[in-house]
C-alpha cells in the first residue's frame, strides 16, 4: 500500500523517489497523484515526507486535487536558467532539477520512475548526474521495483475501483452473450448479424468497445476474443475476419481499464454457441474443476506458486502436458495460474513456478485465477478467469460474479 512506501524506501536504501511524466497513463505517477490532467510533471518524494508535485503554472488547480504539496516550475525563472545553459534546453531542465533537489535538501540514492519520453529525459539526466554528484540516480527492473512492492496490496478505495471495473466488465460480457444468443444461424452453423451476413470477431469487438466506452472504460489494446484455432493460442487476440460459428470454443479474455490509465479488471469466459462437442465439454469441465479446486484451497499468506503447482497436479492427472512436465509446451496447460492486478494489468504477486517465495496471498492483494487448456491443432482452447481480493481478515472476495455456462443456447436455432 501507499503507506508502505517509506518503509520500502528504508529497506531499499532510497533517500528519495523521482517520478517523471503525466499524471495519467503512467502507473507510478497515477498511483501517487490520483491521475488528472497534469502533464510533464516532476514528483519528488523524500523519505518520511509528503511527495512534492512540480508542474506547469496553468495546471496548478488540477495538481492541487492530488492532495500533494504542489510547487510550480514558474518558481524557477527559466529565462535566467536558459541563459546560464547557453540556450541548451536539456541543460536548463537539469539546472532546474538540481535547484529542486537543493531546495528539498536531497542527496544520496534516488529511485527513478515514470513512463515518459526517453530521449529528452536521457539528455536532461546526463547533465543532472554530472552537475549533481551528491545524488545517485537508480533505475529498477519492473518486477520488484518499489512501486510493484507497494502496489501489491490495495487499500479499500483501490479495491472499490477495481470492483467497479468488474461490474462494468461483467455487464459488457453479459451484453455480448445476450447479443450472441439472439442471432440467426445459417444452415452451415455460421452465426449471422442483423443484415444477414456472417458475424465476425471484428464485428463483435466493435460492439464491445462501444459498450465499454459508454460506461467510461477503456478497452485494453489487444484484448482476446478468439475462436477455433486462435482460441487454442493463449496470447492470440483472435482474427477480426474470423466468422463466429456454432460448436467452436470462443475464449473471451477482457481486461478494461478506467479511462485515463486507472485500475484494470481481468476476466475470461469460454463459450461454445448452440452446442458443445463431447470433447470440448470434457475439457471445459476439467478447466472448471481445476478452477474450483484452486478457489476452495486459497489461503491467506500462502505462496501463490503453490496453487500453480496444484493446478499442474490436477491437469497432469487429467493427462495433459503442463509447464511443469515440458519446457515450453504448445498444448495443454501452458501458462501461469494468475497475477496481481491494479494500475498494471500484470503486477505482483506473481504465480509462476519459479516466482520468488515472497509472492504471497497477503491481506490486501488483488489477483486473478485463470487456469486453462489449449489444443490449437484441434482448434480449441479453454480458460476461466476471475479476479479476487484477499481482505485484511483473510476473506477471499470474488470481485464480480458472472455465470460459468460453457454452452450458450441460441434462441433461433435447434439441433
Minimum CB–partner distance for residue 249 and a copy of itself (Å): 20
Minimum CB–partner distance for residue 206 and a copy of itself (Å): 8
Query: Which positions ≥6 away from 139 have C-beta within 8 Å?
Result: 111, 112
Minimum CB–partner distance for residue 411 and a copy of itself (Å): 27
Minimum CB–partner distance for residue 116 and a copy of itself (Å): 5
Upper half-sphere CA count for residue 211 (Cβ side, 13 Å): 22
3-state SS string for 164-181: HHHHHHHHHHHHHHHHHH
Q: Which is nearer to a copy of itself, 121 or 192 (CB)?
A: 121
Minimum CB–partner distance for residue 99 and a copy of itself (Å): 19
Report cis status (omega within 30 of 0) of the bond before 349. yes
Cα distances from 24 to residues 103, 156, 157, in angstroms, run 27, 21, 18
Cell triple for residue 348? 505482483
- 69-72 and 52-55 strand pairing: parallel
- 339-340 and 347-350 strand pairing: antiparallel
Minimum CB–partner distance for residue 74 and a copy of itself (Å): 10
Cα distances from 151 to residues 20, 101, 340, in angstroms, run 18, 26, 9
Cell triple for residue 180? 450472441
Cα distances from 61 to residues 12, 56, 169, 178, 337, in angstroms, run 34, 10, 32, 44, 43
| Helices of type H across 241-344 | 278-297, 304-317
Upper half-sphere CA count for residue 391 (Cβ side, 13 Å): 9
Q: Which is nearer to a copy of itself, 58 or 187 (CB)?
A: 58
Distance CA 35, CA 343 (A): 11
> Which one, of 335, 357, 360, lies nearest residue 349 by Cα?
360
Q: Which is nearer to a copy of itself, 67 or 202 (CB)?
A: 202
Minimum CB–partner distance for residue 348 and a copy of itself (Å): 15
Name the phi and psi angles at 403, rounded to 5: -60, 160
> Which one, of 73, 29, 31, 67, lies nearest residue 50 by Cα?
67
Applying CB under 8 A, the residues found at the interface with a copy of itself are 20-21, 24, 28, 37, 58, 89-90, 111-126, 137-143, 145, 209-210, 213-214, 221-222, 235, 237, 260
Minimum CB–partner distance for residue 333 and a copy of itself (Å): 17
Minimum CB–partner distance for residue 259 and a copy of itself (Å): 9
DSSP 191: B
Amino acid at each position: 500500500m501507499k503507506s508502505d512506501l517509506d518503509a520500502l524506501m528504508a529497506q531499499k536504501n532510497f533517500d528519495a523517489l523521482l517520478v517523471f511524466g503525466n499524471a495519467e497513463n503512467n502507473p507510478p505517477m497515477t498511483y501517487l497523484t490520483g491521475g488528472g490532467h497534469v502533464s510533464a510533471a516532476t514528483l519528488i518524494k523524500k523519505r518520511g515526507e509528503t511527495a512534492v508535485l512540480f508542474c506547469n503554472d496553468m495546471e496548478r488547480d488540477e495538481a492541487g486535487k492530488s492532495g500533494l504539496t504542489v510547487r510550480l516550475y514558474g518558481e524557477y525563472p527559466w529565462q535566467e536558467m536558459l541563459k546560464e545553459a547557453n540556450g541548451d534546453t536539456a541543460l536548463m531542465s537539469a539546472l532546474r532539477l538540481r535547484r529542486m533537489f537543493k531546495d528539498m535538501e536531497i542527496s544520496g540514492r534516488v529511485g527513478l520512475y515514470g513512463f515518459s519520453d526517453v530521449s529528452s529525459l536521457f539528455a536532461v539526466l546526463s547533465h543532472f548526474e554530472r552537475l549533481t554528484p551528491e545524488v545517485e540516480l537508480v533505475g529498477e527492473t519492473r518486477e520488484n521495483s518499489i512501486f510493484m512492492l507497494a502496489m501489491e496490496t490495495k487499500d479499500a478505495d483501490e479495491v472499490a475501483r477495481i470492483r467497479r471495473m468488474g461490474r462494468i466488465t461483467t455487464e459488457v460480457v453479459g451484453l455480448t452473450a445476450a447479443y450472441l444468443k439472439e442471432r440467426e444461424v445459417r444452415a452451415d452453423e455460421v452465426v449471422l448479424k442483423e443484415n444477414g451476413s456472417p458475424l465476425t470477431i471484428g464485428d463483435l469487438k466493435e460492439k464491445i468497445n462501444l459498450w465499454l466506452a459508454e460506461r467510461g472504460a477503456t478497452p485494453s489494446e489487444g484484448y482476446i476474443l478468439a475462436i477455433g484455432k486462435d482460441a487454442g493460442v493463449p496470447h492470440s487476440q483472435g482474427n477480426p475476419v474470423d466468422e463466429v460459428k456454432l460448436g467452436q470454443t470462443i475464449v473471451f479474455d477482457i481486461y478494461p481499464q478506467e479511462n485515463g490509465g486507472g485500475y484494470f479488471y481481468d476476466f475470461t469466459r469460454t463459450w461454445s454457441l448452440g452446442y458443445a462437442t463431447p470433447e470440448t465439454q470434457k475439457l471445459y469441465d476439467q478447466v472448471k474443476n481445476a478452477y474450483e479446486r484452486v478457489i476452495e484451497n486459497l489461503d491467506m499468506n500462502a505462496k501463490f506458486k503453490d496453487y500453480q503447482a496444484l493446478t499442474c497436479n490436477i491437469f497432469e492427472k487429467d493427462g495433459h502436458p503442463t509447464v511443469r512436465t515440458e519446457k515450453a509446451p504448445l498444448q495443454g496447460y501452458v501458462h501461469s495460474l494468475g497475477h496481481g492486478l491494479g494500475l498494471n494489468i500484470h503486477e505482483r504477486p506473481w504465480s509462476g513456478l519459479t516466482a520468488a517465495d515472497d509472492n504471497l496471498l497477503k491481506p490486501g492483494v488483488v489477483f486473478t485465477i485463470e487456469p486453462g487448456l489449449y489444443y490449437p491443432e484441434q482448434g480449441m482452447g479453454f480458460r476461466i478467469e476471475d479476479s479476487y481480493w484477499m481482505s485484511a481478515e483473510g476473506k477471499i472476495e470474488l470481485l464480480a460474479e458472472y455465470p460459468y455456462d460453457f454452452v450458450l443456447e441460441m434462441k433461433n436455432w435447434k439441433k
